[in-house]
């Protein structure tokens, strides 16, 4: 167990950073809130006020899959994962490739039922799809036969919103993401960054209570990615939905988040450390990377992540 870690009654691990317990267990969260007063390591963090609702709880989640080539054996992708996200909180999960990040996001989205453990969404046990969530994938998930406008309209249409009203709301969203002039274009006529903007508008227009994002910008070039990250922060800061963001990119995780959770290498991946990102907001992802505390945080998180990345590579090579 890493230095500074505290074993929780349920077997999960809570870390002490600068004396501030960062608990990944819903049952311990209120105690942490009271004892820590939600103060970050270097001053008051942007984290939830005492009493803020728990938006998402993964409680002791384990996911197994049938092992390839064996009818009886299973592969345990994640084991005993307890993870909480508060309303309004932006949490990133980082970990080496193949450790189970997308698996956890699929569990939170209700696309995959955990083998054991449970998920709660705003206090209710999740039994099917997480309908209050917006999901943004790594790959483009736009309808290729629909224009940008019609892609943004789609979700409202499915919900039965009148076509004229849906179109005017979708147009407003395209304006917000800077694509008003491209409303009539089809996805193949848009750049990768533009397609991501359409996807953001398509997700946000439905007013999801939480956002689940799986490496949404990883296919973009560095400059476009940074633009998109800033746009995401702008959108998010307007109404602060809770976000669970999966990435293997530590810089992105720190620049965007209130908290970064590090997963161990698989199999049986689980959170090993949780870091509060008490950097000032609003943030510009390029500028925040020059902040002295960003550099400290990066070094501390990389210290934890690096071991797991090395383990993952050894296992892939073996």
Provide the binding-site residues for ligand ATP, judged by CB under 6 A: 65, 75, 77, 95, 97-103, 248, 266
Closest CA to 214 of 101, 133, 84, 111: 101
> Which of 141, 137, 171 lies closest to 153 in space, CA to CA?
171
Footprint on residues 11-40 left by Mg ion (CB under 5 A)? none
Of 206-245, binders to Mg ion (CB under 5 A) are none
Query: At its nearest, how many Å lie between ligand ATP and the CB of residue 108?
Result: 12
Residue 248 interacts with which of Mg ion, ligand ATP, none, CB < 5 to 8 Å by class: ligand ATP
Q: Which of 119, 173, 116 is nearest to 148 (CA)?
A: 173
As measured in angstroms, the least distance from the Cβ of 127 to ligand ATP is 20
Helix and strand numbers, DSSP H then E, in the chain: 9, 15
User: Considering the complex, what minimum distance in angstroms separates the CB of residue 75 from ligand ATP?
Assistant: 6
Bridge partners (DSSP) of residue 64 are 76
3 state DSSP class of 14: strand
| Cα–Cα dist 270/261, whole Å | 10
Q: Which is nearer to ligand ATP, 96 or 155 (CB)?
A: 96
Instruction: Give the nearer residue to Mg ion in terms of CB position, either 102 or 230.
Output: 102
Buried b (16+ CB within 10 A) or exposed e, 255-294: bbbbbbbbbbbbbbbbbbbbbbbbbeeebebeebbeeebb
Query: Which C-beta is closer to ligand ATP: that of 45 or that of 103?
Result: 103
CA dihedral 145, 148, 154, 160 (to 10 degrees): -120
Radius of gyration of the chain (CA): 20
* Least separation in angstroms between CB 309 and ligand ATP: 11
> Which of ligand ATP, Mg ion, none is residue 270 near (CB under 5 to 8 Å by kind)?
none
Closer residue to Mg ion, CB minimum distance, 26 or 104: 104
Residues 59-118 contacting Mg ion, CB under 5 A: 101-102
Nearest approach in angstroms of CB 267 to ligand ATP is 7
Number of residues that bind Mg ion (CB under 5 A): 2
CB nearer to Mg ion: pick between 102 and 147:
102
| Residues near Mg ion, by CB under 5 A | 101-102
């Amino acid at each position: 167990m890493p230095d500074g870690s505290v074993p929780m009654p349920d077997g999960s691990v809570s870390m002490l950073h600068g004396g501030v317990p960062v608990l990944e267990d819903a049952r311990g969260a209120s105690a942490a809130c009271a004892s820590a007063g939600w103060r970050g390591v270097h001053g008051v963090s942007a984290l939830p006020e005492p009493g803020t609702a728990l938006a998402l709880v993964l409680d002791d989640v384990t996911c197994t899959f049938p092992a390839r080539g064996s009818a009886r054996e299973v592969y345990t992708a994640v084991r005993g994962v307890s993870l909480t996200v508060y309303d309004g909180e932006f949490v990133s999960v980082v970990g080496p490739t193949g450790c189970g990040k997308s698996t956890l996001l699929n569990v939170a989205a209700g696309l995959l039922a955990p083998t054991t453990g449970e998920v709660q969404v705003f206090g209710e046990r999740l039994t099917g799809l997480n309908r209050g969530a917006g999901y943004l994938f790594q790959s483009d998930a736009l309808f290729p036969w629909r224009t940008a406008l019609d892609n943004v309209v789609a979700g409202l249409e499915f919900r039965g919103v009148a076509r004229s009203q849906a179109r005017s709301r979708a147009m407003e969203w395209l304006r917000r993401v800077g694509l008003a002039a491209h409303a009539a274009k089809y996805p193949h006529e848009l750049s990768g960054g533009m397609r991501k903007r359409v996807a953001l508008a398509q997700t946000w227009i439905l007013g999801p209570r939480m956002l689940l994002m799986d490496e949404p910008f990883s296919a973009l070039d560095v400059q476009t990615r940074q633009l998109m990250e800033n746009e995401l922060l702008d959108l998010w800061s307007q109404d602060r939905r809770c976000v669970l963001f999966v990435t293997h990119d530590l810089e992105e995780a720190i620049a965007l988040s209130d908290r970064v959770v590090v997963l161990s290498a698989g199999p049986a991946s689980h959170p090993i450390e949780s870091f509060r990102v008490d950097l000032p907001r609003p943030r510009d992802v390029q500028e925040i990377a020059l902040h002295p505390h960003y550099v400290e945080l990066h070094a501390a998180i990389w210290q934890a992540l690096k071991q797991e990345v090395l383990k993952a590579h050894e296992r892939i090579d073996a």
